[in-house]
Chain A
């Protein structure tokens, strides 16, 4: 009886290991473009991968390393120049924390519009509160890496032409304290 139980246990563990390896390999395989077969396999392993935090694509710097994304903000001050800032910025230490802020700017655009809007509002609230203000304007900055030709021609990595600015919106939280709501005016 004990021998039979041991054999069953061995079989179960072996099957679990086989499934685990399948789950680990299928998750990145199903990154688009992917065949319906791969997608079916991916869906089969998805609950398991999500539970164990294994649902990753491992597409580091792939398919093409692109422009990096930053978020800048301007906090208006009555009768004075607005306070401006951006994240990530190199004054953030240690480097791991810098990367966390970098990812806040970089990864946001992978989520759906509704989540993006909610997170942008959270960023606006956080940085306006940091500067004791109730209003703030956020911008998305794309920073394209300079090409080899540009550098050979005397260009720099931070040439203004390599930056592209797009306004996210202006946020006003002055009414939120009383009404628990905020107004985001999209440009």
Chain B
């Protein structure tokens, strides 16, 4: 009996220990698992733009709002803050510093938006945001609250690690040292994203609950009263008086959505729906109530719930689309290449892009003809790299070392090149590529050919490439890696492949 009781107790202790450990592990994963800073970079870009716009609008009436004897006199505002820990540098500066300080704030917010010296400018931007808001408490509304919240969390996380001037400088610096950059992951990025997510949940939860205190939200009239508020509306929606069920429905859906957001947004199945409804609501607030700034800043905060890999991919496509449209000289080049030589899009890109890059970098131009002739006679390395800088760095280096190469910017073009030319190896720089697509691509190449495939990926990201280790003839090289390392690894892989093929008395690896 005693033995049984002891066993029960010990099993209870084991269960409790496992439970506590599980909770601690979940806490750690939730808050500190390193995350890609890409979404934080996008939020910084958009939030920084809103901050800059906000300050630019203040410029139009700066003295009226911020002057010592303006619409909100300094003495009146200071008397509100007696014995309260409020920070605003405007409380300590006089009229003589108004314009110099304001211009400095504009410059800092522009730097923050572009992601320049972001570690410093993000903190300064937060201090600027709250300083302006606290100085004019009567002129504040929801936009200031959300802007303050976003700037706080952007200063906590590495918001300048991606989509920023800082990241371009880093890439250039690494390129000079012969290294290739890769997306980095940070625990602080996870913390910042989680804080934005939880703050959004708090906002909607309490906004929904507060509405339950009002009878008009129960009767459904509340939404009509918002729509019929002439001081807010920018578009006449009085036609809804003849379809009254519509504002009533919107009122009920708004409350339900706000209250359940905190639960359903964490469910992967419901998340897209909740975010889509939120975007609809905020676009509606912008379009019909004229509060575009508030609607947009809320929608920008939703990006904290997004998948960075997906957005990296979308961004790459967007940049490519803009480049394709923006640089008209490229379009005829692509067309001409297609028409005259009868080759596919991949070759057209390869023959057109070097000219652009050499012009931009001030390097001696490589003519497309010589590149094409060179590739027609030799077996080559196919390099897939989505980032322009990486492509140009690799191209320059490989050509300097007499390694013939065909460099493309996406996986489909890579397959095209592999199927058309005598390729001896494939290099994939995974930066800005969707991991699952990379795995599929590698599997396709391995199925169709016996080419060695070298995958360049940050060690922190390698867990995302699920199934890559099962693909034959694939080797992974950690990023950042020196160009020399890449070339040597490639050489050894090709040597090994050739040794195997000669042992098996097969021909050199090739396709088509």
Contact = CB atoms under 8 A, between A and B. Distances in A.
A66 to B, nearest CB: 8
A122 B217 contact: no
A109 to B, nearest CB: 10
Contacts of B217: 62-64
Contact of A118 (B76, B205, B215, B234): B76
Contacts of A187: none
Q: Interface centre among A14, A56, A60, A64, by most B CB within 10 Å? A: A60
A63 B31 contact: no
A37 interface: no
Main secondary structure, interface of A, reads helix
Contacts of A56: 145
B138 A28 contact: no
A157 B238 CA distance: 8
Interface in A100-131: 100-104, 107-108, 111, 114-115, 118-119, 122-123, 125-126
A103 B72 contact: no
Contact of B290 (A57, A64, A99, A119): A99
B27 interface: yes
B133 interface: yes
Nearest to A60: B207
A39 interface: no
A63 B214 contact: yes
Contacts of A65: 216, 222, 225-226, 229
- What size tier do the contact residues of chain B reach? 35 or more
B202 A53 contact: no
A107 B140 contact: yes
Nearest to B194: A17
Contacts of B143: 96, 99
Interface stretch (B62-70, B345-353, B361-369, B486-494): B62-70
Contacts, number: 182
Interface string B291-309: 1110000000000000000
B54 interface: yes
Contact of B241 (A47, A66, A88, A152): A152
A47 B85 contact: yes
A149 to B, nearest CB: 8
A111 to B, nearest CB: 7
Contacts of A97: 57, 60-61
Contact of A111 (B31, B61, B80, B228): B80
A108 to B, nearest CB: 6
Contacts of B69: 122, 125
B324 interface: no
Contacts of A88: 231
A81 interface: no
Given A65-B222, A65-B229, A99-B143, 11 more contacts: A51-B87, A58-B145, A62-B210, A63-B212, A63-B213, A96-B54, A100-B61, A104-B138, A118-B73, A145-B224, A147-B228
